[in-house]
Amino acid sequence: MQGFSEHIPVIICPDHESIAGAVADEIVRYVEEQAARQGLAILGLATGSTPIGVYRELITRHRQGVSFRNVVTFNLDEYYPMTPVSLQSYHRYMRENLFAHLDIPEDQIFIPRGDLPREAMMEHCAWYEQQIEKFGGIGIQLLGIGRSGHIGFNEPGSLPNTRTRLIRLDEMTRKDAAADFFGEENVPLEAVTMGVGTILTAQRVILMATGEHKAHVICRAVEGEVSPQIAASYLQHHPNASIYVDPGASTELTRIKTPWLVNPGIEWTDRMTQRAVLWLCEQTRKPLLHLQRRDYDNHGLYTLIDTTTRTETLNMRVFEAIRAKVREKDRLFTGKRCICFSPHPDDDVISMGGTLLHLAAAENDLTIAYMTSGNIAVFDTDVLRLIDFIRLTFRDLGCSHPLFDDIAEKARAFLAAKQAAQIDIPEVQTIKTNIRRSEAIAGASVVGVSPEKTRFLDLPFYRTGQVQKKPVGEEDIGIILDLLNEIRPDVIFVAGDLSDPHGTHRMCKEAIDQALMEYAAKPEVWMYRGAWQEWEVDEADVFVPLSSDDLQKKIQAIFRHESQKDTAMFPGSSDDREFWQRVQDRNTHTAQRLDQLGFPQYYAMEAFVVR
């Protein structure tokens, strides 16, 4: 049921794969219908991580016999200045992710140029608009959405009648792109983009968004007023626009976050009851057991309060359900075989360092499996520092090594000439990998996990040397399956967050899920969240309390990751705090939230969802 507050149709799909399948189905239908009429199918295409799944689906359909020879494509945008062969160029992105695998004629592919002189850009933009008009306009336009609400690169302030043009990029957009360029300072200041007016002339518009970091802007675009500050909100005026989202990107929609406000016939499950009562505590600023019938009535929760004869009974039922989630040290399991899967070499201590500390003390058999090398997140200066350390150590101990000297010089020469976002040579990648590995071993030791209980899986999907990864494949799944068969865990811990801006956490979870489908046993799965946010009180199944000493120990473990300290290469675009600061604030905030609800005053807490 779509809530009355939504001004654009929103389709919530189970995951990004189902979004890709649904959108690819619609595109193929359109292409084949046009082919049957001897006509052309005009597609407006987007870039970024969101549409890659759609493009992979289209490639699969082509291999199954679908022809795209009658397709004409117009891309939304390109950075400026940007040569077509650059790693970050959308010309290159489209060629590698779509065009090289389909049978679209080369002269039917149009992408804005980012390599023309500035004085030629106005004429080029006018020509681009003329080409769209020449082919009769765009039939289906694919869009992503930026955290600033932009579609294409139509930044805040863009007007509904704008056409293809050069535009200065918003600071938030440049921060979001920093990972692709290995630093915000390398991101171009401008881009060439189709205008809002160009997009709105498409016969059909499909916007896709995934992940909780897009939830707020999706809500503003769909439920807020139409405003130049959120360019996507102009789609409210389009007669045939739809938005496809995954559960993460839907979380701020009224029908998901507070469905009782738009659906009086809601089914009051235990989980929904918890969410509503906790929301009511926030609205009234009261502890849970202080809520009164008039509080429920005054905030529209008539149907909930009607499910019980006494308000106190409902309050106590929810209170006891939440209290049961708190697992003190003596209520955690002991003697279990456990695997903590850590997407990057620091997610284990960042997300659940305190719980690892408790589990190790309770004599559980803990293995930490670091799924990727994390080597792209190491600064070049750390490589040079390590080379100097090894060279000086060899010299002072009288054990100089000519082979190392050759490798060191090769690495130095490469780094001296390295261009922004250039892929590292294998020698540099190996050094960066081992910097992360040594830090992971040191961090795990702080929380009681010995070096021999750390595993470095180095999953193949990550081995690209750049931010964009390969799809999860059979080799990735096989490596995880081998570890499961070797350890035979009773409990596994998995990064279950969907806010990871780089997608690695999501892909690691995907690989684990597929391995578990093939694994004979069924271990208990505890899902933690990464550095970006924590589970909500109604979402979590377990809260593990931490003392002040526990939290400080956890922070010390995070400090062992020196390459990520002070300034991390990929901190996430929306938060300038260091990882340890986020952890401290997040864990203490969770405890404070329970305190406000009337529960014991714990110092800090880590939260998990169990399945």
Query: Does the residue 402 lie in any domain?
Result: no
pLDDT at 2: 46
**Per the domain annotation, does 484 fall within a domain?**
yes
pLDDT at 89: 94
Residue 354 counted as domain residue:
yes
Which residues span the domain enclosing 524? 329-379+417-610
Count of CA atoms in the C-beta half-sphere (13 A) of 447: 35
CA distance 478 to 484: 10
Distance of alpha carbon 90 from alpha carbon 77, whole angstroms: 8
3-class secondary-structure state, position 38? coil
Given a cut of 70, the residues of the chain with pLDDT beneath it are 1-4, 465-468, 497-502, 532, 567-575
Asked which of 237, 254, 271 is the last residue of a domain, the reply is 254
> Shortest CA distance to 345 belongs to which of 223, 228, 435?
435
Report the side by side order of strands in the sheet with 524-528: 454-456, 365-370, 337-342, 491-495, 524-528, 604-610, 542-546
pLDDT tens for residues 505-523?
889 999 999 999 999 999 9
**Is residue 2 a part of any domain in this protein?**
no
Tens-digit pLDDT profile for residues 244-268: 999 999 999 999 999 999 988 899 9
Q: Are residues 293 and 360 in the same domain?
A: no
How would DSSP label each residue in 385-453? HHHHHHHHHHHHTT---HHHHHHHHHHHHHHHHPPTTPPPPHHHHHHHHHHHHHHHHHHHHHTT--GGG
Measured CA to CA, the distance from residue 293 to residue 306 in angstroms comes to 10
Q: Please give the pLDDT value at position 420.
A: 76
- The alpha helices in 15-161, defined as continuous H runs, are 16-36, 52-63, 90-97, 118-134
CATH number for position 61: 3.40.50.1360
Element holding 341 (H helix, E strand): strand 337-342
Q: What is the CATH number of the domain that holds 498?
A: 3.40.50.10320
Q: Are residues 357 and 505 in the same domain?
A: yes
140-152: per-residue pLDDT in tens? 999 999 999 999 9
Tell me, yes or no, whether 452 and 564 share the same domain. yes
**pLDDT tens column, 340-367:** 999 999 999 999 999 999 999 999 999 9
Q: Is residue 393 part of a domain?
A: no
Domain boundary among 224, 254, 284: 254
* Of 279, 301, 323, the domain-final residue: 323
Active-site amino acid positions: 155
Same domain flag for 134 and 243: yes
**Cα dist. 131→74, 75, 108, 198, 564 in Å?**
9, 12, 10, 12, 47
Measure the CA–CA gap between 78 and 67, rounded to whole angstroms: 27
Q: Is residue 124 part of a domain?
A: yes
**Gap between the terminal Cα atoms of the chain:** 27
Within a domain: residue 47? yes
Count the domains in the chain: 3
DSSP 260: G
Residues 105 and 134 in one domain: yes
Residues 292 and 219 placed together within one structural domain of the fold: no
Task: Give the max Cα distance, the chain.
Answer: 84
Q: For residues 284 and 315, what is the distance between their CA atoms, to the nearest angstrom?
A: 14
Structural domain includes residue 538: yes
> Cβ contacts of residue 324 below 8 Å, gap of 6+?
none
Q: Based on the fold, state whether residues 591 and 450 are members of the same structural domain.
A: yes
Instruction: Please check whether residues 249 and 263 belong to one and the same domain.
Output: no
Check: CB of residue 270 under 8 Å from CB of residue 325. no
> What is residue 3's predicted lDDT score, i.e. its pLDDT?
47
- Residue 263's pLDDT is 87
For residues 212 and 337, state if they share a domain: no
Contacts (Cβ under 8 Å, ≥6 apart) of 467: 179, 180, 376, 502, 570
Shared-domain flag, residues 191 and 290: no
Which residue in this structure is represented by tokens 């549409």? 51
309 & 241 share domain: no
HEC profile of 546-559: ECHHHHHHHHHHHH
Q: Is the same domain home to 297 and 195?
A: no
